[in-house]
Protein backbone atom coordinates (compact mmCIF):
# COMPACT_ATOMS: atom_id res chain seq x y z
CA UNK A 1 0.00 0.00 0.00
CA UNK A 2 1.43 3.39 -1.01
CA UNK A 3 0.43 7.03 -1.01
CA UNK A 4 -1.69 7.98 -4.02
CA UNK A 5 -1.12 10.92 -6.36
CA UNK A 6 -4.40 12.81 -6.04
CA UNK A 7 -3.36 16.48 -5.89
CA UNK A 8 -3.08 18.74 -8.92
CA UNK A 9 -0.83 21.70 -9.69
CA UNK A 10 -3.66 23.93 -8.48
CA UNK A 11 -3.78 22.13 -5.12
CA UNK A 12 0.00 22.18 -4.69
CA UNK A 13 0.22 25.90 -5.49
CA UNK A 14 -2.54 26.82 -3.05
CA UNK A 15 -0.84 24.69 -0.41
CA UNK A 16 2.26 26.87 -0.73
CA UNK A 17 0.32 30.15 -0.76
CA UNK A 18 -1.80 29.13 2.23
CA UNK A 19 1.21 27.91 4.18
CA UNK A 20 3.19 31.12 3.60
CA UNK A 21 0.52 33.75 4.25
CA UNK A 22 0.24 34.05 8.01
CA UNK A 23 -0.04 36.61 10.76
CA UNK A 24 3.46 37.91 9.95
CA UNK A 25 2.44 39.95 6.91
CA UNK A 26 -0.16 41.76 9.04
CA UNK A 27 2.26 42.64 11.86
CA UNK A 28 5.85 42.79 10.53
CA UNK A 29 5.40 46.20 8.89
CA UNK A 30 5.62 48.11 12.17
CA UNK A 31 8.99 46.60 12.96
CA UNK A 32 10.32 47.20 9.44
CA UNK A 33 9.11 50.81 9.46
CA UNK A 34 11.21 51.40 12.55
CA UNK A 35 14.27 49.69 11.07
CA UNK A 36 13.89 51.10 7.54
CA UNK A 37 12.34 54.59 7.75
CA UNK A 38 12.88 55.23 4.02
CA UNK A 39 9.73 54.43 1.97
CA UNK A 40 11.75 52.94 -0.90
CA UNK A 41 13.51 50.54 1.45
CA UNK A 42 10.29 49.70 3.30
CA UNK A 43 8.68 48.45 0.08
CA UNK A 44 11.88 47.32 -1.64
CA UNK A 45 12.82 44.80 1.04
CA UNK A 46 9.68 42.80 0.20
CA UNK A 47 10.71 42.59 -3.45
CA UNK A 48 14.21 41.52 -2.41
CA UNK A 49 12.81 38.97 0.03
CA UNK A 50 10.52 37.66 -2.69
CA UNK A 51 13.36 37.38 -5.20
CA UNK A 52 15.41 35.46 -2.63
CA UNK A 53 12.46 33.14 -1.99
CA UNK A 54 12.06 32.60 -5.75
CA UNK A 55 15.76 31.68 -5.92
CA UNK A 56 15.05 29.13 -3.18
CA UNK A 57 12.01 27.83 -5.06
CA UNK A 58 14.06 27.38 -8.25
CA UNK A 59 16.74 25.56 -6.25
CA UNK A 60 14.22 23.26 -4.59
CA UNK A 61 12.49 22.66 -7.92
CA UNK A 62 15.42 20.63 -9.25
CA UNK A 63 15.62 18.61 -6.04
CA UNK A 64 11.86 18.07 -5.87
CA UNK A 65 11.67 16.89 -9.48
CA UNK A 66 14.55 14.47 -8.84
CA UNK A 67 13.00 13.11 -5.63
CA UNK A 68 9.20 13.55 -5.90
CA UNK A 69 8.63 11.73 -2.62
CA UNK A 70 7.07 12.36 0.77
CA UNK A 71 9.36 14.15 3.19
CA UNK A 72 10.83 17.08 1.26
CA UNK A 73 14.09 18.18 2.90
CA UNK A 74 14.44 14.75 4.50
CA UNK A 75 14.84 13.18 1.05
CA UNK A 76 17.29 15.81 -0.23
CA UNK A 77 19.58 15.73 2.81
CA UNK A 78 19.51 11.94 2.81
CA UNK A 79 20.50 11.79 -0.86
CA UNK A 80 23.31 14.33 -0.56
CA UNK A 81 24.86 13.59 2.84
CA UNK A 82 23.51 10.25 4.00
CA UNK A 83 20.59 8.89 6.00
CA UNK A 84 21.84 10.46 9.23
CA UNK A 85 21.35 14.02 7.93
CA UNK A 86 17.80 13.40 6.82
CA UNK A 87 17.03 11.62 10.08
CA UNK A 88 18.20 14.51 12.27
CA UNK A 89 15.95 16.93 10.41
CA UNK A 90 13.03 14.50 10.67
CA UNK A 91 13.73 13.93 14.36
CA UNK A 92 13.55 17.66 15.09
CA UNK A 93 10.50 18.04 12.87
CA UNK A 94 8.64 15.24 14.65
CA UNK A 95 9.19 16.43 18.21
CA UNK A 96 9.36 20.22 17.89
CA UNK A 97 8.93 21.91 14.50
CA UNK A 98 5.70 20.20 13.39
CA UNK A 99 3.73 20.00 16.66
CA UNK A 100 5.23 23.23 18.03
CA UNK A 101 4.10 25.13 14.94
CA UNK A 102 0.60 23.63 15.17
CA UNK A 103 0.36 24.58 18.84
CA UNK A 104 1.58 28.14 18.25
CA UNK A 105 -0.68 28.68 15.24
CA UNK A 106 -3.77 27.30 16.99
CA UNK A 107 -3.30 29.56 20.00
CA UNK A 108 -2.71 32.51 17.68
CA UNK A 109 -5.94 31.78 15.80
CA UNK A 110 -7.87 31.62 19.08
CA UNK A 111 -6.44 34.97 20.17
CA UNK A 112 -7.55 36.65 16.92
CA UNK A 113 -10.95 34.96 17.03
CA UNK A 114 -11.75 36.02 20.61
CA UNK A 115 -13.89 39.01 19.53
CA UNK A 116 -16.14 36.60 17.61
CA UNK A 117 -16.24 33.86 20.24
CA UNK A 118 -17.28 33.60 23.85
CA UNK A 119 -13.77 32.77 25.07
CA UNK A 120 -13.39 34.05 28.61
CA UNK A 121 -10.47 32.24 30.25
CA UNK A 122 -7.03 30.87 29.41
CA UNK A 123 -8.12 27.26 29.88
CA UNK A 124 -11.07 27.74 27.55
CA UNK A 125 -8.76 29.22 24.92
CA UNK A 126 -6.36 26.28 25.19
CA UNK A 127 -9.19 23.79 24.89
CA UNK A 128 -10.40 25.56 21.77
CA UNK A 129 -6.84 25.46 20.35
CA UNK A 130 -6.69 21.71 20.97
CA UNK A 131 -10.08 21.38 19.30
CA UNK A 132 -8.75 23.13 16.21
CA UNK A 133 -5.75 20.78 16.07
CA UNK A 134 -8.06 17.79 16.43
CA UNK A 135 -10.47 19.04 13.74
CA UNK A 136 -7.78 19.62 11.13
CA UNK A 137 -6.13 16.32 12.03
CA UNK A 138 -9.38 14.42 11.49
CA UNK A 139 -9.88 16.13 8.12
CA UNK A 140 -6.39 15.14 6.99
CA UNK A 141 -6.70 11.59 8.32
CA UNK A 142 -9.78 11.14 6.14
CA UNK A 143 -7.74 11.51 2.97
CA UNK A 144 -5.32 13.72 1.07
CA UNK A 145 -8.23 14.95 -1.04
CA UNK A 146 -10.28 16.29 1.94
CA UNK A 147 -7.13 17.87 3.34
CA UNK A 148 -6.28 19.42 -0.02
CA UNK A 149 -9.83 20.67 -0.62
CA UNK A 150 -9.92 22.24 2.84
CA UNK A 151 -6.64 23.98 2.03
CA UNK A 152 -7.99 25.21 -1.30
CA UNK A 153 -11.17 26.68 0.20
CA UNK A 154 -9.48 28.49 3.09
CA UNK A 155 -6.64 29.82 0.93
CA UNK A 156 -8.96 31.09 -1.81
CA UNK A 157 -11.01 32.85 0.86
CA UNK A 158 -7.88 34.53 2.21
CA UNK A 159 -6.71 35.58 -1.26
CA UNK A 160 -10.10 37.06 -2.24
CA UNK A 161 -10.40 39.12 0.94
CA UNK A 162 -6.82 40.42 0.76
CA UNK A 163 -7.12 41.24 -2.95
CA UNK A 164 -10.34 43.19 -2.39
CA UNK A 165 -8.77 44.98 0.57
CA UNK A 166 -5.69 46.01 -1.43
CA UNK A 167 -7.62 47.12 -4.52
CA UNK A 168 -10.23 49.07 -2.56
CA UNK A 169 -7.56 50.57 -0.34
CA UNK A 170 -5.41 51.80 -3.22
CA UNK A 171 -8.24 52.87 -5.53
CA UNK A 172 -10.83 54.23 -3.13
CA UNK A 173 -9.13 54.53 0.24
CA UNK A 174 -8.33 57.72 2.15
CA UNK A 175 -4.58 57.42 1.71
CA UNK A 176 -1.94 59.62 0.14
CA UNK A 177 0.74 58.90 -2.46
CA UNK A 178 2.87 61.63 -0.86
CA UNK A 179 3.70 59.03 1.82
CA UNK A 180 6.06 57.48 -0.75
CA UNK A 181 8.19 60.62 -0.93
CA UNK A 182 11.47 60.37 0.97
CA UNK A 183 11.41 62.60 4.05
CA UNK A 184 14.37 64.32 5.62
CA UNK A 185 14.23 61.95 8.55
CA UNK A 186 14.41 58.83 6.39
CA UNK A 187 17.99 57.90 7.17
CA UNK A 188 18.66 54.31 6.17
CA UNK A 189 20.90 52.49 3.71
CA UNK A 190 20.60 49.39 1.56
CA UNK A 191 23.24 47.70 3.74
CA UNK A 192 20.76 47.88 6.61
CA UNK A 193 18.29 45.86 4.54
CA UNK A 194 20.49 42.76 4.72
CA UNK A 195 20.66 42.67 8.52
CA UNK A 196 17.84 42.07 11.00
CA UNK A 197 15.06 43.43 8.72
CA UNK A 198 15.80 40.72 6.16
CA UNK A 199 15.53 38.08 8.89
CA UNK A 200 11.97 39.27 9.60
CA UNK A 201 11.08 39.20 5.90
CA UNK A 202 12.56 35.73 5.35
CA UNK A 203 10.47 34.32 8.18
CA UNK A 204 7.35 36.04 6.85
CA UNK A 205 7.99 34.14 3.59
CA UNK A 206 8.70 30.85 5.43
CA UNK A 207 6.81 27.74 4.37
CA UNK A 208 7.30 28.31 0.62
CA UNK A 209 8.53 24.72 0.08
CA UNK A 210 5.39 23.02 1.44
CA UNK A 211 4.50 21.12 -1.75
CA UNK A 212 7.89 19.37 -1.72
CA UNK A 213 6.83 17.53 1.45
CA UNK A 214 3.94 15.79 -0.28
CA UNK A 215 5.78 14.85 -3.47
CA UNK A 216 4.35 11.32 -3.36
CA UNK A 217 0.79 12.65 -3.61
CA UNK A 218 1.08 15.19 -6.45
CA UNK A 219 0.14 14.15 -9.97
CA UNK A 220 2.82 14.50 -12.65
CA UNK A 221 5.32 15.64 -9.99
CA UNK A 222 8.23 16.14 -12.38
CA UNK A 223 6.25 19.02 -13.92
CA UNK A 224 3.87 20.12 -11.17
CA UNK A 225 6.28 20.27 -8.23
CA UNK A 226 8.65 22.82 -9.84
CA UNK A 227 5.71 24.82 -11.21
CA UNK A 228 3.93 24.91 -7.84
CA UNK A 229 7.08 26.18 -6.12
CA UNK A 230 7.65 28.90 -8.70
CA UNK A 231 4.03 30.03 -9.15
CA UNK A 232 3.33 29.95 -5.41
CA UNK A 233 6.35 32.04 -4.46
CA UNK A 234 5.74 34.50 -7.31
CA UNK A 235 2.14 35.00 -6.24
CA UNK A 236 3.05 35.57 -2.59
CA UNK A 237 5.80 38.03 -3.58
CA UNK A 238 3.37 40.12 -5.61
CA UNK A 239 0.69 39.99 -2.89
CA UNK A 240 3.10 40.89 -0.09
CA UNK A 241 4.55 43.79 -2.07
CA UNK A 242 1.14 45.28 -2.86
CA UNK A 243 -0.03 44.85 0.73
CA UNK A 244 2.93 46.88 1.96
CA UNK A 245 2.33 49.47 -0.76
CA UNK A 246 -1.20 49.73 0.65
CA UNK A 247 0.13 50.11 4.20
CA UNK A 248 2.43 52.94 3.10
CA UNK A 249 -0.35 54.57 1.07
CA UNK A 250 -2.44 54.63 4.22
CA UNK A 251 0.13 55.61 6.84
CA UNK A 252 3.50 57.43 6.56
CA UNK A 253 6.40 55.16 7.41
CA UNK A 254 7.34 57.28 10.43
CA UNK A 255 3.87 56.86 11.97
CA UNK A 256 3.82 53.15 11.13
CA UNK A 257 6.98 52.44 13.14
CA UNK A 258 6.32 50.22 16.14
CA UNK A 259 2.69 49.46 15.25
CA UNK A 260 1.71 45.96 16.33
CA UNK A 261 -1.08 45.38 13.81
CA UNK A 262 -0.21 47.43 10.73
CA UNK A 263 -3.07 45.96 8.68
CA UNK A 264 -5.69 47.21 11.14
CA UNK A 265 -3.98 50.60 11.42
CA UNK A 266 -4.01 50.96 7.62
CA UNK A 267 -7.63 49.83 7.33
CA UNK A 268 -8.74 52.36 9.94
CA UNK A 269 -7.06 55.12 7.94
CA UNK A 270 -8.23 53.96 4.51
CA UNK A 271 -11.79 53.07 5.44
CA UNK A 272 -13.32 53.41 8.92
CA UNK A 273 -12.96 51.65 12.31
CA UNK A 274 -16.00 49.42 11.75
CA UNK A 275 -14.60 48.05 8.48
CA UNK A 276 -11.12 47.83 10.01
CA UNK A 277 -12.42 45.19 12.43
CA UNK A 278 -12.88 42.87 9.43
CA UNK A 279 -9.08 42.69 9.10
CA UNK A 280 -9.19 39.93 11.70
CA UNK A 281 -11.05 37.69 9.23
CA UNK A 282 -8.22 37.25 6.66
CA UNK A 283 -5.77 36.80 9.55
CA UNK A 284 -7.92 34.02 10.99
CA UNK A 285 -8.26 32.35 7.59
CA UNK A 286 -4.54 32.68 6.88
CA UNK A 287 -3.62 31.07 10.22
CA UNK A 288 -6.20 28.31 9.67
CA UNK A 289 -4.64 27.55 6.27
CA UNK A 290 -1.21 27.37 7.89
CA UNK A 291 -2.46 24.94 10.55
CA UNK A 292 -3.99 22.66 7.93
CA UNK A 293 -0.87 22.81 5.74
CA UNK A 294 1.38 22.10 8.71
CA UNK A 295 -0.61 19.03 9.72
CA UNK A 296 -0.88 17.82 6.12
CA UNK A 297 2.86 18.11 5.37
CA UNK A 298 4.45 17.43 8.76
CA UNK A 299 3.19 13.88 9.09
CA UNK A 300 4.80 12.94 5.75
CA UNK A 301 8.30 13.40 7.20
CA UNK A 302 8.05 10.73 9.90
CA UNK A 303 6.12 8.54 7.42
CA UNK A 304 9.08 8.75 5.02
CA UNK A 305 11.54 7.99 7.84
CA UNK A 306 9.54 4.96 8.96
CA UNK A 307 9.34 3.75 5.36
CA UNK A 308 13.16 3.77 5.32
CA UNK A 309 13.28 1.77 8.56
CA UNK A 310 14.65 4.76 10.50
CA UNK A 311 11.62 5.38 12.72
CA UNK A 312 8.95 3.47 14.56
CA UNK A 313 7.34 0.98 12.21
CA UNK A 314 3.68 1.99 12.90
CA UNK A 315 4.35 5.42 11.37
CA UNK A 316 4.67 3.90 7.91
CA UNK A 317 1.17 2.42 8.09
CA UNK A 318 -1.52 3.87 5.87
CA UNK A 319 -5.19 3.89 6.79
CA UNK A 320 -6.91 0.95 5.04
CA UNK A 321 -9.82 3.13 3.90
CA UNK A 322 -8.41 6.67 3.56
CA UNK A 323 -4.85 5.80 2.50
CA UNK A 324 -3.27 8.40 4.79
CA UNK A 325 -0.42 8.10 7.33
CA UNK A 326 -2.99 8.25 10.12
CA UNK A 327 -0.64 7.13 12.89
CA UNK A 328 1.79 9.91 12.02
CA UNK A 329 -0.99 12.52 11.87
CA UNK A 330 -2.49 11.35 15.16
CA UNK A 331 0.87 11.34 16.96
CA UNK A 332 1.69 14.85 15.77
CA UNK A 333 -1.71 16.13 16.94
CA UNK A 334 -1.24 14.55 20.39
CA UNK A 335 2.20 16.13 20.84
CA UNK A 336 0.87 19.50 19.61
CA UNK A 337 -2.03 19.32 22.07
CA UNK A 338 0.34 18.56 24.95
CA UNK A 339 2.50 21.52 23.97
CA UNK A 340 -0.56 23.77 24.04
CA UNK A 341 -1.02 22.96 27.73
CA UNK A 342 2.67 22.81 28.61
CA UNK A 343 3.16 26.22 27.04
CA UNK A 344 6.90 25.91 26.34
CA UNK A 345 6.64 25.52 22.58
CA UNK A 346 7.57 29.16 21.86
CA UNK A 347 10.89 28.66 23.61
CA UNK A 348 11.43 25.35 21.80
CA UNK A 349 10.63 26.91 18.42
CA UNK A 350 12.96 29.79 19.23
CA UNK A 351 15.75 27.31 19.84
CA UNK A 352 15.30 25.51 16.51
CA UNK A 353 14.88 28.57 14.25
CA UNK A 354 18.63 28.52 13.64
CA UNK A 355 18.56 24.81 12.75
CA UNK A 356 15.59 25.34 10.42
CA UNK A 357 17.69 27.85 8.50
CA UNK A 358 20.61 25.42 8.48
CA UNK A 359 18.38 22.72 6.96
CA UNK A 360 17.40 25.07 4.10
CA UNK A 361 21.08 25.93 3.58
CA UNK A 362 21.98 22.23 3.58
CA UNK A 363 19.23 21.55 1.00
CA UNK A 364 20.55 24.36 -1.20
CA UNK A 365 24.09 23.02 -0.97
CA UNK A 366 22.75 19.52 -1.68
CA UNK A 367 22.05 20.68 -5.22
CA UNK A 368 25.76 21.39 -5.75
CA UNK A 369 26.75 18.12 -4.06
CA UNK A 370 24.47 16.05 -6.27
CA UNK A 371 25.49 17.92 -9.44
CA UNK A 372 29.15 17.11 -8.74
CA UNK A 373 28.79 13.61 -7.30
CA UNK A 374 25.98 12.30 -9.53
CA UNK A 375 26.00 14.29 -12.78
CA UNK A 376 24.24 11.46 -14.62
CA UNK A 377 21.13 11.40 -12.41
CA UNK A 378 17.87 12.09 -14.19
CA UNK A 379 16.94 15.75 -13.72
CA UNK A 380 13.46 16.47 -15.14
CA UNK A 381 14.01 20.10 -14.21
CA UNK A 382 17.37 21.87 -14.11
CA UNK A 383 17.48 25.07 -12.10
CA UNK A 384 17.59 28.19 -14.23
CA UNK A 385 20.66 30.36 -13.63
CA UNK A 386 22.84 27.62 -12.13
CA UNK A 387 25.15 28.12 -10.24
CA UNK A 388 24.27 31.77 -9.52
CA UNK A 389 20.65 31.27 -8.39
CA UNK A 390 21.31 28.53 -5.80
CA UNK A 391 24.47 30.37 -4.71
CA UNK A 392 22.48 33.55 -4.00
CA UNK A 393 19.87 31.58 -2.08
CA UNK A 394 22.34 29.68 0.10
CA UNK A 395 24.65 32.69 0.48
CA UNK A 396 22.00 35.02 1.88
CA UNK A 397 20.61 32.29 4.13
CA UNK A 398 24.14 31.67 5.48
CA UNK A 399 24.45 35.40 6.18
CA UNK A 400 21.12 35.45 8.02
CA UNK A 401 21.99 32.29 9.98
CA UNK A 402 25.29 33.87 11.01
CA UNK A 403 23.49 36.96 12.31
CA UNK A 404 21.08 34.82 14.31
CA UNK A 405 23.97 32.80 15.76
CA UNK A 406 25.93 35.85 16.89
CA UNK A 407 22.86 37.66 18.23
CA UNK A 408 21.47 34.62 20.10
CA UNK A 409 24.32 32.08 20.48
CA UNK A 410 22.71 30.27 23.41
CA UNK A 411 19.48 29.60 21.48
CA UNK A 412 21.44 28.51 18.39
CA UNK A 413 23.61 26.10 20.37
CA UNK A 414 20.50 24.77 22.15
CA UNK A 415 18.90 24.12 18.76
CA UNK A 416 21.95 22.25 17.55
CA UNK A 417 21.96 20.23 20.78
CA UNK A 418 18.29 19.29 20.36
CA UNK A 419 19.05 18.17 16.81
CA UNK A 420 22.12 16.12 17.68
CA UNK A 421 20.18 14.41 20.48
CA UNK A 422 18.62 12.29 17.74
CA UNK A 423 21.92 10.64 16.76
CA UNK A 424 21.80 7.83 19.39
CA UNK A 425 18.30 6.93 18.21
CA UNK A 426 19.41 7.00 14.58
CA UNK A 427 22.19 4.49 15.23
CA UNK A 428 19.82 2.34 17.30
CA UNK A 429 17.24 2.26 14.50
CA UNK A 430 19.94 1.61 11.93
CA UNK A 431 21.24 -1.36 13.90
CA UNK A 432 17.71 -2.63 14.51
CA UNK A 433 16.84 -2.34 10.81
CA UNK A 434 20.03 -4.20 9.83
CA UNK A 435 19.26 -6.99 12.29
CA UNK A 436 15.71 -7.37 11.02
CA UNK A 437 17.01 -7.80 7.46
CA UNK A 438 19.66 -10.30 8.55
CA UNK A 439 18.14 -12.44 11.33
Q: What is the pLDDT of residue 115?
A: 79
**Could you tell me if residue 2 is inside a domain?**
no
**Could you tell me if residue 39 is inside a domain?**
yes
CA 176/CA 397 separation, integer angstroms: 36
Which residue numbers in the chain have pLDDT < 70?
Answer: 182-189, 344-345, 435-439
Q: How confident is the model over 307-359, as pLDDT tens digits?
A: 998 999 999 999 999 999 999 999 999 999 999 998 766 777 787 889 999 99
Q: Are 195 and 40 in contact (CB under 8 A)?
A: no
Omega within 30 of 0 (cis) for the link into 387: yes
Q: What is the pLDDT of residue 276?
A: 73
Q: What is the pLDDT of residue 345?
A: 66
**Could you tell me if residue 334 is inside a domain?**
yes
Q: How confident is the model over 27-69, as pLDDT tens digits?
A: 999 999 999 989 999 999 999 999 999 999 999 999 999 999 9
**Could you tell me if residue 1 is inside a domain?**
no
- What percent of the chain is predicted at pLDDT more than 90? 81
The gap from C-alpha 396 to its chain's centroid, in whole angstroms, comes to: 18
Q: How far is CA 233 from CA 21, 177, 206, 236, 386, in A?
A: 11, 28, 10, 5, 19
**Could you tell me if residue 343 is inside a domain?**
yes
DSSP state of 214: B
CA 1/CA 20 separation, integer angstroms: 31
Q: Are 363 and 76 in contact (CB under 8 A)?
A: yes
**Could you tell me if residue 4 is inside a domain?**
no
Coil vs helix vs strand at 326? helix
Q: What is the pLDDT of residue 173?
A: 82
Q: What is the pLDDT of residue 430?
A: 84
Provide the whole-model pTM: 0.95
Range of the domain at 428: 9-432
Number of domains in the chain: 1
| Domain CATH for 61 | 1.20.1740.10
**Could you tell me if residue 129 is inside a domain?**
yes
**Could you tell me if residue 437 is inside a domain?**
no
Amino acid sequence: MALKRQLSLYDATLLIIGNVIGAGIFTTGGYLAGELPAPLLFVGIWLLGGLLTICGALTYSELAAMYPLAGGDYQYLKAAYGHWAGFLLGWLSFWIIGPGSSAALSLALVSYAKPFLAVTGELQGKLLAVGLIAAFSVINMRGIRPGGTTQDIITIGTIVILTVMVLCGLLAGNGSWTNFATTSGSQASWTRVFSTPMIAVIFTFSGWFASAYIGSEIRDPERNLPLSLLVGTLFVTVLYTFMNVMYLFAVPVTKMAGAINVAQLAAEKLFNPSIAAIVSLPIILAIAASINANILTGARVCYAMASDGAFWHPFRKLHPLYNTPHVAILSQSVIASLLVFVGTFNQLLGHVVFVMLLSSIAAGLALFVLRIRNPGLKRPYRVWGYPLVPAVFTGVYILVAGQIFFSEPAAAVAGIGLTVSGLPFYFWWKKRHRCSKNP
